[in-house]
Amino acid sequence: MSHSAPNAVSRGPREWSAEQNAEIVAILARYPTKKAAIMPVLWMAQDAWEWIDLDIMRLIARTLDLPPSHVHAVASFYTMFKKAPTHRYHIQICHTLSCALVGAEKIVAHIERRLECDEHGNSKDGLFTLLRVECLASCGSAPMAQINEHFYERLTPEVVDQVIDALRAGTKLQEPRPEADQWIFPVS
Ligand code: FES
């Protein structure tokens, strides 16, 4: 299954709050052009509104004096920017070459089976959203996935089971990478 995220939709017109406007002024001061500030402004919007809909893209376009199509292109290119709501645990599984060579497809199939995902990668239990993504720059510890902000590396079906079971049991996500370059159980 491809697990493509749904296309961005509208949720109604948006405006920045006074605090957000102040933050944007501070962001713009760090960049040579308004266009160059698009990534932190997208992050800021995602932090505030959880995912980037078409109205937020239009707002960012107006703010940065850019064509809406440019904002849409950047938000669409980077999978870290959500274009649809996700469940509590957003699993971004890398399927690029290094991960593919050491079994990413097997891991994806295993996660799909465990979570009973629909065509958008949403799990039947309403806890997880699975999305295939391109290289997450952890090729040396492939196969790997990112769950919310955390990397989970050297994945095996057994490790995936441990992580899913722990998260379903309500265990808090933790950064799994210790100083040593080896797997340590990622949750506590
Ligand atoms: S190819 Fe998977 S992290 Fe680079």
What is the CATH number assigned to the segment(s) 18-77?
1.10.10
Spacing, Cα 78 to ligand 1 middle (Å): 15
- Reported as a single tens digit per residue, the pLDDT across 4-33 is 666 778 888 899 999 999 999 999 999 999
Tell me how many helices (H) and strands (E) the chain has.
7, 4
From the CB of 136, is ligand 1 less than 6 Å away? yes
Second-level CATH architecture of 89-168: 3-Layer(aba) Sandwich (3.40)
Q: How far apart are CA 182 and CA 153, in angstroms?
A: 8
Give pLDDT, residue 5.
Answer: 63
Q: How far apart are CA 44 and CA 50, in angstroms?
A: 10
Q: Which two tokens stand for residue 68?
A: 């809406």
From the CB of 103, is ligand 1 less than 6 Å away? no
* pTM for the full predicted model: 0.81
Give pLDDT, residue 73.
Answer: 96
Give pLDDT, residue 185.
Answer: 45
**What number does the ligand 1 atom closest to the CA of 104 have?**
2
- Reported as a single tens digit per residue, the pLDDT across 90-137 is 999 999 999 999 999 999 999 999 999 998 899 999 999 999 999 999
Give pLDDT, residue 172.
Answer: 78
- Reported as a single tens digit per residue, the pLDDT across 62-96 is 999 999 999 999 999 998 899 999 999 999 999 99
- Reported as a single tens digit per residue, the pLDDT across 156-187 is 999 899 999 999 998 877 655 554 444 444 44
**What number does the ligand 1 atom closest to the CA of 94 have?**
2
Domains of the chain by residue range: 18-77, 89-168
